[in-house]
Amino acid sequence: MNAEDGIHEIADRAAPVLRAAGVSSPFRLERLTGGGNNRVYRVDSAGAPVVLKLYFRHAADPRDRLRADFGYSSFAWNVGVRALPKPLASDHEAGMAAYEHVQGRKLAPGALTRSRVAEAADFFRLVNEHREHPHAIDLPEASEACFSVASHVACVDLRVKRLSTIAVDSPLGREAADLVACLLGPTWRRVSQRVRASQRNSTDRPLAASERCLSPSDFGFHNAMVATDGRLRFLDFEYSGWDDPAKMVCDFFCQPAVPVSRNELDFFVGRIGEVGSMNEVFSRRVDLLLPVYELKWCCIMLNEFLAVGESRRSFAGIPENRELHLAHQLESVRRALGCIEA
């Protein structure tokens, strides 16, 4: 099947959800680049353009990306939050959803200001002002949700162990496996031992419902656009749901694509307000877990060396020079590991 045939097949499958989104026939699909997990298309017709997302599904990765993404977007929009594209329609059987098309640009690394950090904090805070809304209970737990320090450590421990299955049938594969065995693994052992030791004389109770948050998950400026009105629109909530707010903060400051300075940490936490019992205990948990999540993001960058990670990236669109891309990932992980205080 050539690319044109593939577009026609997707257009046929997408027709029902696009009709539900108000798109009239005829319409034209244009593949958009930049998505790391799903296929994304611009849909043009007689009306305003919309975005069509075709979600990745794999037997080894059972996460329901469509339900999480469309559900979180719909909840946020319905309670009055507007710093995101409007969700229009979804078709779970087809694995597709349609959203408002936001004209704008991505934020470049190094182009962040405190006002942008404030926009991100305000988005999270505004959604979580409605945590007790009757429909909030319908939202799922976030992907890899953690409600105790022990569960945070266990989650990353599983990711590190999974990397031991990296195939060594190529030079880059062998290099990645060596990096895991000789640097990432030992660094993780030191980090996890330190976190466990800090908890020996304390009760690591699960977070109460009142201490949990509606997390956008994978939250950061890598999943945001500057719209034509100059304001940010936040995107891609496919891992979202109920979670530990400390995890959201750690992910926000550890994601490597559009890094946020640690100098903004206190400002960000303060701007969030009283969500999920944002108190001194919460701040200490953030400090404790930051190196755990620095290590987690190193694992995420190495996921493309795993079979399911490669399948997901292939579904979304393989980089033009895959070997160069993988080599860049390895160098990024080396640099990140060198900065972890273990």
pLDDT of 12 higher than 90 = yes
Pairing relationship of beta strands 224-227 and 213-215 according to DSSP bridges: unpaired
20: alpha, beta or left, given left = phi > 0 and alpha = psi -120 to 50?
A: alpha
Q: Residue 106, SS3? A: strand
**Which tokens is 335 given?**
């640099």
Q: Could you give the CA distance from residue 160 to residue 180 in angstroms, rounded to a whole number? A: 8
Q: Could you give the CA distance from residue 258 to residue 224 in angstroms, rounded to a whole number? A: 10
Indicate the burial class of 54 (C-beta count within 10 angstroms; 0-12, 13-18, 19 or more). buried
Q: Could you give the CA distance from residue 215 to residue 251 in angstroms, rounded to a whole number? A: 11
CATH architecture of the region 3-143+207-273: Orthogonal Bundle (1.10)
Residue recorded with tokens 């992910």:
251
For 183-246, strand residue ranges (E) read 213-215, 224-227, 232-234, 241-243
Query: Can you state the angle between helices 265-272 and 280-302, rounded to 10 degrees?
Result: 120
DSSP β-bridge partners for residue 52:
41, 98
The model carries a pTM of: 0.91
Residue recorded with tokens 């108190």:
279
pLDDT of 342 higher than 80 = no
Q: Could you give the CA distance from residue 8 to residue 6 in angstroms, rounded to a whole number? A: 5
Q: Could you give the CA distance from residue 166 to residue 306 in angstroms, rounded to a whole number? A: 6
For the chain, the domains span 3-143+207-273, 149-205+286-339
pLDDT at 311: 60
Residue 270 near residue 240, CB atoms below 8 Å: no
pLDDT in tens, 246-271: 999 999 999 999 999 999 999 999 99
CA distances (Å), origin 226, targets 100, 119, 217, 223, 308: 15, 11, 19, 11, 32
Q: Of the given ranges (5-19, 113-127, 243-257), which has the lowest mean pLDDT?
A: 5-19
**Which tokens is 263 given?**
């100098």
Give the angle subtended at the CA of 22 by the CAs of 19 and 28, to the nearest 5°.
70
Q: Could you give the CA distance from residue 233 to residue 211 in angstroms, rounded to a whole number? A: 26
pLDDT at 321: 83
Q: Could you give the CA distance from residue 285 to residue 250 in angstroms, rounded to a whole number? A: 10
Q: Could you give the CA distance from residue 155 to residue 292 in angstroms, rounded to a whole number? A: 10
Instruction: Grade residue 204 by pLDDT with cuts at 50, 70 and 90.
Output: confident
pLDDT of 110 higher than 90 = no
pLDDT at 310: 59
Number of residues assigned to the chain: 342
Instruction: Grade residue 14 by pLDDT with cuts at 50, 70 and 90.
Output: very high
**Which tokens is 220 given?**
């950061």
User: What mean pLDDT value characterizes the chain?
Assistant: 91
Instruction: Grade residue 341 by pLDDT with cuts at 50, 70 and 90.
Output: confident
Give the angle subtended at the CA of 238 by the CAs of 47 and 255, to the nearest 5°.
115
Q: Could you give the CA distance from residue 120 to residue 234 in angstroms, rounded to a whole number? A: 8
Region 102-116 average pLDDT: 92
Q: Could you give the CA distance from residue 36 to residue 238 in angstroms, rounded to a whole number? A: 12
